[in-house]
Homo-oligomer: A and B are copies of this chain.
Amino acid sequence: MLTNETFRNQAHQVVDWIADYLENIQQYPVKPSIAPGALRAALPDEAPQSGEAMDDIWKDFLNMIVPGITHWQHPGFMALFPSNASYPGILGEIAVSGLGINAMMWDTSPSATELEQTVMEWLRKATGLPDGMLGVIHDTASMSTLTAIISARERYAQFQVNQHGFHGYDKLVMYCTDQTHYSIEKGAKAAGIGAAQVKKIATDDAHAMIATALTKQIAEDKAAGLQPFMVVATLGTTSTLAFDPLEGIGNICVEHKLWLHVDAAYAGSAFFLNEYRHFLQGIDHADSYVFNAHKWLFTNFDCSCYFVKDANHLINTFSANPDYLKRTEESVAMFKDWGIPLGRRFRALKLWFVLRNYGISGIQELLRKHIDIATNFRNQLLSDTQWELMAPPVMNMFCVRYHPQGINDNEALNALNTALLKSINADGNYYLSGTIVKGMYMIRVVMGQTHLEQVHAEGLLALMRSSANSINDFKALR
């Protein structure tokens, strides 16, 4: 077993490997070519009886585990949304791994609680959120959203669902769109609302919620005796980065006393930039708001930043203080009461490292760099009119499909672009993902990896063009 001395040596080896890995990450294919079940089959069926030397374990890590890794920190990772690490973020995680604390309450590490309060306030100011909103770090937007749904439910039900279940509240309905992240419906199921009570409001050509359609649906539902209690507005949807009209939705929520939750999981980082703050118009009406610093804010996963207008309501929804968790200080925040899990990682440290090492202006520069690279790339790609823009492009993401002249059948285009995406990803230097909106298959390009440079955009441009040509050739041959 490791001693302090052998740990020290081994830890130096591991951090050297990390530095080498990140320096040379482009030598790996972004996505591994490994057969399902291959690793599992290669590993023993049982834990070893006797302890093994860390050197041997580390060799297996390099030879067995790394070849099956999808390299999220590869600058060619442009699929889904990024889950960005950064040098200061990694240092934060390393320090936390050594401290090994649990940030459940102020008592269980005062620094963890107070640093979390501090960095959440820094973020609130740096991204233009309203005065008075208070923040807490959850693991994922899925959990932040579930927290919001339960809080909204309890505000409507005056804490009676928490106490007695849904008696008298079984007609609750909430609103979003079919472009809202699937975790909202998943959260509504978990919270006992039911998927059928999550109503999908119609969207416009830009895939954003139509506020007048929301008004109409609420009126119909109230007339039918249903109990509207919540709207989820998305700033930057997952499929196409659509922005629901926050101000219009906010006014409706005020009128009908509905909880307004704002999901800015990805795009929220961009509110470091003044030029995107207009999307936040109406945020004063939000009861809760989430964005993930682990997506486009260079802070290692997990780090979901959840803000609420009324922290007392949040605490009243989730707090409980059993006898075995008596605390010495009544005056300080107990973040265990700000969400579901009792145990909590010390996530504030990595965020503090990132915000200080980059600084606000450093973050702004990096975000603008990504946006510039993506904008130039998009303009160059679309100069060939066979590439069709599928949604209004914004920030550093856009959706396209390849649409050669003469092919106008949607099914054929879907098949063509599915094959094209597969061909682009097969190259190994880039990983893009697709989506389907209103029956149309499209390729998403998200240019937001921490270490993205112009050269990566150039490589992708050549690859997308050549892949499209090959598809054409292949079709011509048939």
* Residue contact B1 to A68, C-beta cutoff 8 Å: no
Q: Which of A89-111 contact B (CB under 8 A)?
A: 89-91, 93-102, 106-111
Query: B164 contacts A165, CB within 8 Å?
Result: no
Interchain CB contact under 8 A, A190 and B189? no
- A17-B98, A94-B97, A142-B341 known; A433 vs B190 contact (CB < 8 Å): no
* A189-B192 Cα distance, complex, nearest whole Å: 10
Q: What is the distance, in angstroms, from A70's C-beta to the closest C-beta of chain B?
A: 4
> Which chain A residues (63-88) contact chain B, with CB distance < 8 Å?
64-73, 80, 83-88
Cα–Cα distance between A381 and B119 once the two chains are bound (Å): 45
| Residue A302 CB within 8 A of the other chain | yes
**Bound: A123/B190 CA distance, A:** 28
- Cβ of A276 within 8 Å of any chain B Cβ, yes or no, is no
Assess whether A139 is interfacial by the CB under 8 Å rule: yes
- What is the bound-complex CA distance between A96 and B189, given in angstroms? 32
Contact A444–B324 (Cβ < 8 Å):
yes
Of A3-11, A207-215, A252-260, which stretch is located at the interface? A3-11
A38 to chain B, nearest CB (A): 8
Q: How many residues of A contact B (CB 8 A)?
A: 157
The reply to whether the CB of A191 lies closer than 8 angstroms to some CB of chain B is yes
Interface residues of A in 138-158 (CB under 8 A from B): 139-143, 146, 150, 153
A residues 148-202 with Cβ under 8 Å of B? 150, 153, 161-167, 170, 172, 181-183, 185-187, 189-197
Chain B residues with Cβ below 8 Å from A409 are none
- A462 interface contact, C-beta 8 A: no
A216 located at the interface, meaning its Cβ lies under 8 Å from any Cβ of chain B in the complex: no
* Other-chain residue from B11, B125, B238, B325 in contact with A324 (beta carbon distance below 8 A): B238
Chain B residues with Cβ under 8 A from A146's Cβ? 190, 340
Set of chain B residues within 8 Å of A150, measured between Cβ atoms? 189-190
Give complex CA distance A461, B81 in Å. 54
Specify the chain B residue showing the minimal Cβ separation from A57: B356
Partner of A51, one of B54, B115, B361, B436: B361
The reply to whether the CB of A331 lies closer than 8 angstroms to some CB of chain B is: yes
Q: What are the residues of chain B within 8 A of A204 when measuring CB–CB?
A: none
